[in-house]
């Protein structure tokens, strides 16, 4: 419980953790504001790149391929992030100059599934250009994508957005009402008043997803040397992340809807991801174990063969 004279902006009251001030803006340069959201996105990209390069070096790959993939991936992922969001929130952009609206991201408007699709597209293009198996790129980059998602998700924390409905579970998060963005009426009806401050109490869905992605990343890193066929990490990612995102998305109050269906777009995409991933795994497993090229493996067995 914070002192009587403290009105924290964010408060995990069941965990006894609170933050008095959680600014959206990290700093400004000659009046140009730099948001924590942007810093975390960039930090996630850099961390993901470094992780991929380290594994590429350990597995005997050409590291420069991943530098080129980074450059291309930034472009295709940004296009995917923004396009996905604009398609499923078109009413907000109708009548605006399309190019100007596309690059006006300072008020938010990025959707992770669009970025994932863009990253996969970059991998397909780079595999053709560099003549590197797409499956090799996938096995190298999937854990990196997850670590990028873990770091990037905390941008929602600083923006006080991307939360779910009311809860009083262990991770329940209170956001001071004057700091929160886009408060739905049902949350306002269940507001909490503490020390004279008004709070909404919500599921921290960004935290749920970040925790799942971190654990899932560790599991895939441990499993990667023992994968049953080249590229296996991609369908495993599609099934695992798609399943988790389906349920987490169901908690959110700021869902992008799939046109006029009334269903959340990310839940529909999650179902598609899971279906594709499962079909891929079933077909691949039915063919039996296929050897992973020694130069792309880091198992003790392959290391012994090299000696």
Position 301 pLDDT exceeds 50: no
Sheet arrangement for strand 197-202:
17-19, 10-12, 173-176, 197-202, 192-194
Distance of alpha carbon 29 from the chain centroid = 28
* Separation of alpha carbons 115 and 76, rounded Å: 8
pLDDT for the residue numbered 92: 79
* Separation of alpha carbons 2 and 305, rounded Å: 60
pLDDT for the residue numbered 262: 85
Q: What is the C-alpha R_g of the chain?
A: 21
Q: Are 90 and 96 in contact (CB under 8 A)?
A: no
- Over range 120-148, report the average pLDDT: 96
User: Could you report the per-residue pLDDT of 194-206, keeping only the tens digit for each?
Assistant: 988 999 999 999 9
The residue count for the chain: 307
- Round to the nearest angstrom and report the end-to-end CA distance of the chain: 60
Position 298 pLDDT exceeds 60: no
Would you place residue 105 in the very low, low, confident or very high pLDDT band (cuts 50, 70, 90)?
confident
pLDDT for the residue numbered 297: 59
Position 174 pLDDT exceeds 90: yes
* Separation of alpha carbons 137 and 65, rounded Å: 9
Distance of alpha carbon 128 from the chain centroid = 26
Residue with tokens 């923006």: 159
Q: Where are the domains of the chain?
A: 1-29+165-202, 31-164+203-301
User: Could you report the per-residue pLDDT of 59-102, keeping only the tens digit for each?
Assistant: 999 999 999 999 999 999 999 999 999 998 888 788 888 888 88
Q: Give Cβ neighbours of residue 35 (< 8 Å, ≥ 6 apart).
A: 24, 25, 26, 106, 155, 158, 159
Percent of all residues in the chain with a pLDDT value above 90, rounded to a whole number: 73
Q: Give Cβ neighbours of residue 50 (< 8 Å, ≥ 6 apart).
A: none
pTM, rounded to two decimals: 0.90
> Which among 151, 154, 197 is positioned nearest to 175, based on CA atoms?
197
């Amino acid at each position: 419980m914070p002192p009587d004279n403290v009105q924290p902006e964010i408060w995990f009251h069941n965990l006894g953790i609170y933050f008095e001030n959680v600014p959206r803006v990290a700093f400004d340069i000659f009046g140009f504001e730099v948001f924590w959201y942007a810093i975390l996105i960039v930090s996630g990209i850099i961390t993901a790149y470094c992780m991929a390069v380290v594994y590429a070096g350990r597995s005997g790959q050409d590291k420069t391929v991943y530098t080129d993939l980074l450059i291309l991936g930034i472009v295709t992922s940004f296009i995917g992030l923004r396009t996905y969001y604009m398609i499923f929130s078109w009413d907000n952009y109708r009548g605006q100059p399309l190019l100007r609206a596309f690059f006006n991201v300072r008020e938010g408007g990025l959707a992770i599934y669009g970025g994932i699709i863009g990253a996969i597209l970059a991998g397909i293009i780079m595999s053709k250009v560099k003549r590197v198996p797409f499956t090799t790129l996938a096995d190298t980059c999937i854990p990196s994508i997850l670590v990028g998602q873990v770091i990037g998700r905390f941008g929602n924390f600083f923006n006080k957005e991307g939360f779910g409905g009311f809860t009083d579970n262990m991770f329940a998060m209170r956001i001071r009402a004057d700091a929160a963005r886009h408060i739905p009426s049902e949350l306002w009806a269940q507001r909490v008043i503490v020390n004279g401050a008004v709070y909404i109490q919500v599921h921290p869905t960004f935290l749920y997803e970040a925790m799942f992605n971190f654990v899932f990343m560790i599991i895939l890193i441990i499993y990667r040397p023992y994968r049953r066929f080249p590229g296996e990490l991609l369908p495993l990612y599609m099934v695992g992340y798609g399943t988790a995102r389906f349920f987490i998305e169901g908690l959110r109050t700021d869902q992008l809807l799939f046109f006029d269906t009334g269903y959340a777009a990310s839940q529909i995409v999650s179902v598609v991801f899971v279906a594709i991933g499962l079909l891929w795994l079933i077909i691949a497993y039915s063919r039996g174990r296929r050897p992973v090229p020694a130069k792309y493996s880091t198992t003790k067995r392959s290391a012994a063969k090299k000696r």
